[in-house]
Chains A and B, each alone.
Chain A
Amino acid sequence: MDIKELIPQKIKENLQAINFEPSEYRDELTLYFDKKDIFEVCKFLKNDPDLEFLLCEDITAIDWARRKNRFTVVYHIFSLKNKFRLRLKADVDEEECSIDTVSDIWRTANWQEREVFDMYGISFNHHPDLRRMYMPEDFEYHPLRKDFPLMGIPGSLPLPKKEE
């Protein structure tokens, strides 16, 4: 059976309580979940012997700049056995800006989630080491949000003094 139909079918069989919506664009399969179900789904996808999504390629977030469900966290995972790439999405609201971490499942998610925290301000529950990644530690803003200007906020990053 085609892998694109196998995945939604397997998820429906094994995890009945979870709702999701599949969609397809340019030959890529995307599954839309609730943010509380992400941990279970990722665990199932990694441990299932047919699917075996062992490589977590990318974790990022999108800022839609709208009132409800402002952010969407996007995961790209790859299966070496079937040579297939899958995309998972989950919406995060601005009021409770947090989602479960998947760094217990794939160790590579550690730094990628730290980068999402640094750039967007979404915090991850039970993350072992949630610090900023690129900006200095005492920086107060989150640069990739749509309300942060491109040239930055003047005075937020000081320079050393000039002496001749």
Chain B
Amino acid sequence: MEKANKEDVNPQILEALLNAKTDFTVEDALENEMILNMGPQHPATHGVLRVLLRLDGETIIASVPELGYLHRGYEKMAENMSYHEFIPHTDRLDYLAPLSNNVAWVLAVEKLTGIEAPPRAQYIRMMVAELARVASHLVAIGALAMDVGALTVFLWTLREREKILDIWDIICGARFTNSYTRIGGVANDAQPEALAKVKWFIDQFEENLDEAERLINTNRIFIERLEGAGVISKEDAIDYGLTGPSLRGSGVEFDLRRATPYLFYNDIDFKIPVYTEGDSLARYFVRVDEARESIKIVRQVLDKMPEGETILNQPKKVLPHKTEIYSKMEELIHDFMIVNFGIHPPVGEVYSAIENPKGELGFYLVSKGEGRPWKCKIRSPSFINLQSLPHLIKGHMISDVVAIIGSLDPVMGEADK
């Protein structure tokens, strides 16, 4: 962090910072305001986020976040590649829970095309998405604790996450950024040893999570640092467009798995944790409770999983199986057409959203009947959650900024698209 002179900062963002609305006045006759640059490279900003702060002493009067340091041009690339080719790119959006984004994209394309995956594939998708939610919340809890000062919790939660990455290694073939789902199902079946390993994991996860939690839940420093930091009320939260654990920490019971159900979430019994205080501590508790609820969901999914095939048998829209491509003629031709020219969904548009660990991840697809989308918009939750950051940190000190960003849990790969 370094002090920035007025000449170093770009003129438009400087003007926005000086004109930013602030209803916070400081009784100090000396008028010593300072502009501090909490730059893109910072150990605690969860990625490349730049925040310009206008300070009086150590209290923040106004602030302006600046994004765009990781803007990779996803939406432009999506207009130039087919629906199947975009699946590995969706992994890198929210890179802490890559399978969740895969599921979201594939559900959007299937809705546009009008096909539906077989039941076993949908149960596998649910199991894998809930494990991704647990993995993402483990990193969020660990990073928040590390930013506040408790380093041991980070190492313990990463140890649990390594076990989940081992499970994904067996099922999907890759540890991380696995493009596992396909349009019409999943890439390969879940092997029995993988399912046994999932069962072993969920049996021993709860007590490990309890052990890591015991270090910080009743720790006086942790609670006093987070309590009351970054309070947002219920109406403000909805007005700013917050979704996900940040919204449920302010008292609004809104979860897309219950409001607009997708996959088979209607048949599963789980609770939605809601806390009403609206500060960083409430958001932290929501995440810990959600990790426990996800384990309950995975247990029920393992009991209910039916037998059957894992990819739909519709050759014009779905990639055929490899063994059939090498032996039969029509499948070879269909594979060639789909890989080179893409599936051709009908003319129309669709918006489909799922509950990502960070909030609501939505894809808006417009199709003109070709193999590539005419327009693809990614509604990313971290981008919209970050908009409330100036409102949350007004009036606090610099050391609270780190805790508040940690409790909002933004991921810059998603926010910058």
| Interfacial residues, chain A to chain B (CB-CB below 8 A) | 25-26, 28, 30, 54-58, 60, 62-63, 74, 76, 80, 83, 85, 87, 106-108, 110-112, 115, 119, 129, 131-137, 143-144, 148, 150
B76 within 8 A of A: yes
**Which residues, 347 to 375 on B, are CB-close (under 8 Å) to A?**
348-351, 353, 360, 362, 364, 366, 374-375
Contacts of B259 in A (CB 8 A): 80, 83
Most buried by A among B10, B16, B239, B260: B239
Contacts of B111 in A (CB 8 A): 26
**Residue on B with the closest CB to A105?**
B239
Contacts of A106 in B (CB 8 A): 239, 241
Known: A57-B360, A112-B384. 8 other contacts (CB 8 A): A25-B348, A60-B364, A83-B259, A107-B240, A108-B387, A115-B383, A129-B16, A131-B12
**Which residues, 231 to 273 on B, are CB-close (under 8 Å) to A?**
238-241, 243, 252, 254, 259-260
**Which residues, 204 to 255 on B, are CB-close (under 8 Å) to A?**
238-241, 243, 252, 254
Q: Given A62-B375, A133-B68 in contact, is the A80-B238 Cβ separation under 8 Å? A: yes
5 sampled A-B residue pairs with Cβ under 8 A: A26-B111, A134-B71, A134-B417, A136-B68, A137-B12
Contacts of B416 in A (CB 8 A): 134
Contact partner, B68, options A25, A58, A108, A135, Cβ 8 Å: A135
CB pair B16–A131 under 8 Å, yes or no, is yes
* Chain B interface category by residue count: 35 or more
Contacts of A62 in B (CB 8 A): 366, 374-375
Report the Cα distance A143→B74, complex, angstroms: 11
CB pair B68–A26 under 8 Å, yes or no, is no
Contacts of A150 in B (CB 8 A): 73, 76-77, 80
Contact partner, B351, options A63, A76, A137, A144, Cβ 8 Å: A76
A99 CB, nearest partner CB in chain B, Å: 17
CB pair A58–B377 under 8 Å, yes or no, is yes
| Interfacial residues, chain B to chain A (CB-CB below 8 A) | 10-13, 16, 19, 67-68, 71, 73, 75-77, 80, 111-112, 114, 238-241, 243, 252, 254, 259-260, 348-351, 353, 360, 362, 364, 366, 374-375, 377, 379, 383-384, 387, 416-417
CB pair A108–B377 under 8 Å, yes or no, is no
A65 CB, nearest partner CB in chain B, Å: 9
CB pair A74–B364 under 8 Å, yes or no, is yes
Report the Cα distance A76→B351, complex, angstroms: 9
CB pair B379–A57 under 8 Å, yes or no, is yes
Contacts of A137 in B (CB 8 A): 10-13
Contacts of A57 in B (CB 8 A): 241, 353, 360, 362, 379
B83 CB, nearest partner CB in chain A, Å: 16
Contacts of B10 in A (CB 8 A): 137
Contacts of B375 in A (CB 8 A): 62-63
Report the Cα distance A17→B30, complex, angstroms: 56
Q: Given A80-B254, A85-B260, A137-B13 in contact, is the A108-B239 Cβ separation under 8 Å? A: yes
Report the Cα distance A106→B259, complex, angstroms: 21
CB pair A131–B351 under 8 Å, yes or no, is no
Report the Cα distance A131→B11, complex, angstroms: 11
A55 CB, nearest partner CB in chain B, Å: 6
Contacts of B114 in A (CB 8 A): 26
B191 CB, nearest partner CB in chain A, Å: 35
B51 CB, nearest partner CB in chain A, Å: 14
Contact partner, B349, options A25, A119, A143, Cβ 8 Å: A25
B227 CB, nearest partner CB in chain A, Å: 26
Contacts of B243 in A (CB 8 A): 55
A42 CB, nearest partner CB in chain B, Å: 13
B76 CB, nearest partner CB in chain A, Å: 6
Contacts of B67 in A (CB 8 A): 133-134
CB pair B387–A111 under 8 Å, yes or no, is yes
CB pair A28–B80 under 8 Å, yes or no, is no
Contacts of A28 in B (CB 8 A): 350-351
A108 CB, nearest partner CB in chain B, Å: 3
Contacts of B366 in A (CB 8 A): 62
B306 CB, nearest partner CB in chain A, Å: 26
CB pair B350–A26 under 8 Å, yes or no, is yes
Report the Cα distance A63→B376, complex, angstroms: 11
CB pair A143–B76 under 8 Å, yes or no, is yes
Report the Cα distance A76→B254, complex, angstroms: 17
Q: Given A58-B364, A74-B364, A143-B73 in contact, is the A25-B351 Cβ separation under 8 Å? A: no
Most buried by A among B75, B76, B416: B76
CB pair B351–A58 under 8 Å, yes or no, is yes
Contacts of A148 in B (CB 8 A): 76
B412 CB, nearest partner CB in chain A, Å: 12
Contact partner, B350, options A25, A132, A134, Cβ 8 Å: A25
CB pair B387–A144 under 8 Å, yes or no, is no
